Amino acid sequence: MSKTRIGVVGCAGRMGRMLIAEIAGSGDCIVAGGVEAPSSPNIGRDLGELAGIEPLGLAVGGDRAALFAASDVVIDFTVPAASVAHASLAAERGCALVIGTTGLDTAQAAALQAAAKRTPIVWAPNMSLGVTLMTDLVEHLARRLDAEFDIEILEMHHRHKIDAPSGTALALGQAAAAGRGIALDGVAQRTRDGQTGPRRSGDIGFATLRGGDVVGEHTVIFAAEGERVEISHRATSRRVFARGALRAARWVVGKPPALYDMKDVLALR
């Protein structure tokens, strides 16, 4: 069988470098190429050397269209506006796409939905297999535990993260709301400050911490009178996200056009 050709956009970033190393060491996939902004000082560098492995004989490029044309699937951990542009490019080129970008607004999410009508796209705020299973468990618990259990979500990330709450925290909130059969927007409590009064029954609360080099920590708390259930996930290396993205990339190639997530990849629905 031929190996899956995987391209990486944002290949000089922390996730991009890990992805290059994971793909190169996979055995059943090959690095099709990697691109950065044309102004990047990394243009022309060998992708393998950039990723801290043996040279691959492939240079960092700046032509995204050429990368999509050369790949079976492209992996994107960039920023919302870029991910939307890449989804459109993937649809034009008939290339599958895996997106791990967080912080997309409603219009940007709708743009991904539109592109996914023409090509298969996996979009997940967290590519970790453990977080995917945690999300499934949160929905199950929210469905089984009645409204006497208040739901609070705590997350912590490194000081450089630019969006809050994290995409993963919001996905966990969506899972809890789905378990309760309600819309998250109507019950989400994202800030508390000053004289807030008692907690409103049925709310799903979010608390955000930022500091140091924390890769990602998430805890969902179900608190009732006399007992509390907590589910936590801690990522100590970004490699878990790279491994999950690679699994998604293998899975999505050849799938019909649609917008998928990691639950689809792990056959949880």
Output the pLDDT for position 269: 77
pTM, rounded to two decimals:
0.84
Q: How many CA atoms lie within 13 A of 70 on its CB side?
A: 17
Output the pLDDT for position 232: 98
pLDDT at 1 over 80: no
Q: What is the pLDDT of residues 204-237, one digit of tens each?
A: 999 999 999 999 999 999 999 999 999 999 999 9
Q: Which helix (H) or strand (E) holds 50?
A: helix 47-50
Instruction: Describe the strand order of the beta sheet including 150-157 as a list of residue ranges.
Output: 188-189, 204-210, 150-157, 216-224, 227-235
Kindly report each contact of residues 187-191 with a partner whose C-beta sits within 8 Å and lies 24 or more positions away, as own/partner: 190/165
Known catalytic residues are 157, 161
Helix, strand, or coil (residue 234): strand
Q: What is the DSSP code string of 151-194? A: EEEEEEE-TT--SSS-HHHHHHHHHHHHHHTS-GGGTEE----S
Taken in order of first residue, the domains within the chain and their CATH numbers are: 4-123+238-265 (3.40.50.720), 129-235 (3.30.360.10)
Instruction: Show Cβ contacts of residue 100 under 8 Å, excluding neighbours closer than 6 positions.
Output: 15, 75, 76, 77, 124, 125, 126, 127, 241, 245
Q: What is the pLDDT of residues 177-208, one digit of tens each?
A: 999 999 999 999 998 999 999 999 999 999 99
Percent of the chain residues past pLDDT 90, beyond the cut: 94
